[in-house]
A and B are shown apart, each in its own frame.
Chain A
Amino acid sequence: MPDQLLKSRPSRWTLRYLALSYVAVLVVLPVGMVFWRTVQQGWRAFVDALTSSESVHAFQLTAVVAGSAVLINTVFGVGVAILLARYRFPGKRVLNLIIDLPVSVSPIVVGFALILVFGFRTGWFGPTLRDAGINIIFAPPGMILATCFVALPLVVREVLPVLQETGVDQEQAARSLGASSWQRFVRITLPTIKWALAYGVVLSVARSIGEFGAVKVVSGNVSGQTQTVTLLVDQHAEQFENGAYQLSVVLIVVAALCIVAISFIRPHEGS
């Protein structure tokens, strides 16, 4: 591509190596260092770190919490995207704004806010829920809520533009051909938003597995009980225990896989 600035060789090289060295110093070297440390400590330490009972439990809990949050956010996200794209109702602009709110709230504040409402000692609903035998804070439900909160807009924001772009013609054609609203959703809407939905789900998976601050506040961080993988990494790192590098490598690989998945999905979007 002809570019005036890049035609001159010195400025082109300056920009390229400025960008590359910035990214190298900030991301590549630190990440590489973690891999190096893991390799240094050997295969044995790697297997031990992943198979310890607290690790296994942490992986299971992360799967449950992230899985539930992704499921809830996917259903919610598709539903809200359809409402925003297809219907007229009062307060629509406000709803649209609230969806984006979680992006700009600190994870610590998210966790804190949930404690203030659901905490069993002083929360608004906490004591009532406790009397009913429902534990939210310091338990998986609270961790799922926190994860839902931080990943809330991801599916909506991917699906909504596709629905707006597509318009209602195909759905109306299906309607005139006798399709019920459920048939229209399954046969027309879902195939239309398929790639955007996949994109949003992958983003949500990455965000949900990786959530740390909000989950740390609401979970109580009890080893072997309410400890997700990210919380376990934190514990290992702060206590100078073994295992932090090994678990981090696994999480880095998962994150990289998510990005690769996204780079495969992206070209299909909007086609």
Chain B
Amino acid sequence: MSQAVAERPVRRPPRPGRPADQFRMSPLSSAGLGVAVLWLSILVLLPLAAVVAKGTGSGWAGFANAFTDSRAYDAIKLTVLASLGVSIANAVMGTVIAWVLVRDSFPGKRILEIVIDLPFALPTIVAGLVLLTLYGPNSAVAPDWQGTRPGIIVALLFVTLPFVVRTVEPVLLSLETDVEEAAASLGAGPFTTFRRIVLPAITPAVLSGSALAFGRAMGEYGSVVLISGQLEHKTEVASLYIYKQIQDDALPEAAATATVLLIISLLVMAAMGAGQYWSARRA
């Protein structure tokens, strides 16, 4: 999933005078495009527009509720800070794990590969239950983090584990080790080589992986619902707050917070797009 977004190929500019690989619309393809646009509108665009319309429906005052209501404010603040922390942790640990997967070899590496992907494929509620089992009240092995912020962080770290690993891995694979050897032959120590040669090459991938992790953490619900204990002002992340508001039929409040989340995800997407454009131009 992360690769799919991060590795979008840069399209070649059309060559003049050479027949392009793309055709003018035919009646069949026009009909297909019509159906696709209609489906996307019904499924994605209209519903998201409805959220924004509801969130801003009672004017600026209603929307500002998301910032002035202390419960909503605390939820958004917790979500943003936790997501930021998780992105930074992923940037470091994801790079380390990708490094070990690409450059190290030891028995059981294939199992590690599969374990890394597990958080992608696992239903989020199962992830939540799994974490509650170890980091909950009945664990007897690990500390009880139910109803605490470390519990939230662990859940977010679990579901975002593959993002940075899977975006950095292909870049590390394509990196020629002879460049590093050249640096070493010029007298650079291993850490200097890493900092001066490897790090600049993988930075775009680390950033886009972290951005994907950030976006995912911002909206996460299933994995935190059990371990959070859903304590207002303390462990209530934005999606938990929105869910409660929907249950209490407080739709405008839910919509205002949802709009804030949507805006943040759009900003993250835009930043990623700009980042890719920037690094593609440098490459």
Q: Which A residues have a C-beta under 8 Å from some C-beta of B?
A: 1-8, 11-12, 15-16, 18-20, 22-23, 26-31, 33-34, 37, 76, 79-80, 82-83, 85-89, 95, 97-110, 112-117, 122-124, 145, 148-149, 152-154, 157-158, 161, 164-165, 167-168, 181, 203, 206-207, 209-213, 216-217, 229-231, 233-234, 237-238, 244-245, 248, 251-252, 255-256, 258-260, 262-263
Contacts and interface: CB of A to CB of B under 8 A. Distances in A.
Contacts, number: 302
Interface string B171-185: 000000100110110
A11 B20 CA distance: 51
Contact of B126 (A2, A88, A251): A251
Interface string B216-249: 1011111001100000000000110011001000
Contacts of A18: 96
Interface of B: 1, 4-5, 7-9, 11, 20-25, 28-29, 32-33, 35-37, 39-40, 43-48, 50-51, 54, 93, 96-97, 99-101, 103-106, 112-126, 128-135, 139, 141-142, 154, 157-158, 161, 177, 180-181, 183-184, 190-191, 193-194, 212, 215-216, 218-222, 225-226, 238-239, 242-243, 246, 251, 254-255, 258, 261-262, 265-266, 268-269
B93 A33 contact: no
A164 B96 CA distance: 33
B222 A213 contact: yes
Contacts of B142: 29
18 contacts: A5-B193, A22-B96, A30-B158, A34-B129, A37-B133, A76-B39, A82-B29, A82-B32, A104-B218, A109-B258, A112-B242, A152-B43, A152-B44, A213-B243, A238-B226, A248-B129, A252-B126, A252-B130
A26 B36 CA distance: 40
B163 to A, nearest CB: 11
A106 B246 CA distance: 14
Given A105-B219, A210-B124, A259 B114 contact: yes
A27 B96 contact: no
Given A4-B193, A256-B121, A88 B1 contact: no
Given A1-B177, A83-B33, A109-B261, A164 B114 contact: no
A87 B122 contact: no
B246 A115 contact: yes
Nearest to B193: A4
B9 A161 contact: yes
Contacts of B141: 29, 33
A87 B29 contact: yes
Given A5-B193, A109-B51, A116-B255, 12 more contacts: A3-B177, A15-B100, A22-B97, A37-B133, A83-B29, A83-B36, A97-B269, A104-B215, A106-B242, A210-B124, A256-B121, A262-B117
